[in-house]
Amino acid sequence: MKPRSQLLITICLLLTAPPAVVAQQTGLTYKIIDTGQVRSYNNTTEMTTPTSGQSFYGQDANYTGYAPSYRDNGDGTVSDLVTGLMWQKSPDRNGDGIINYGDKLYFDVALAGASSFRLAGYNDWRLPTIKELYSLIMFSG
């Protein structure tokens, strides 16, 4: 079987798996920030949040995660009180008070710069993983 066909079959199997199986999160080694989603939906409309064993159970509204919680450290950093991570407070790299194109970095430049970055007396900065970045999303819009 061709690799492309195998990939297509794998994707189809993942897309047709029951939602409760896909959404099950056991044994995670990291904390997940709650999205605040309280509504549930069937195939076409909003519905009463289903309970275990009912159709459409396993949606985000069925699970409660950690509420986002941050502390401004007053030194250009913010601590995430859920994950324990510390973040640079502002991406305003050039200090002009505006977040724009001039503050953006290519990934390879950011990766190289992290090793020499100094902020708030810390010199062990690194780029976050996608799972760590997830903790910064404000789902309320």
pLDDT tens digit sequence for 53-83: 999 999 988 988 888 899 999 999 999 999 9
d(CA 64, CA 66): 7
> Is residue 141 assigned to a domain?
no
Number of domains in the chain: 2
Together in a domain, 121 and 80: yes
d(CA 89, CA 76): 5
pLDDT tens digit sequence for 6-33: 444 444 444 433 443 333 445 677 788 8
Residue 121 has pLDDT above 50, yes or no: yes
pLDDT grade for 43, boundaries at 50, 70 and 90: very high
Average pLDDT (35-62) is 93
Distance of CA 111 to the CA centre of its chain: 19
Task: Output the pLDDT for position 26.
Answer: 54
User: 11, 27, 62 — which closes off a domain?
Assistant: 62
Residue 15 CB-density burial (10 A; 0-12 exposed, 13-18 middle, 19+ buried)? exposed
Average pLDDT (29-38) is 84
Tokens of 52: 């275990």
What range defines the domain where residue 110 resides? 70-134
User: 21, 43, 62 — which closes off a domain?
Assistant: 62
Task: Output the pLDDT for position 32.
Answer: 81
Together in a domain, 90 and 122: yes
> Is residue 140 assigned to a domain?
no
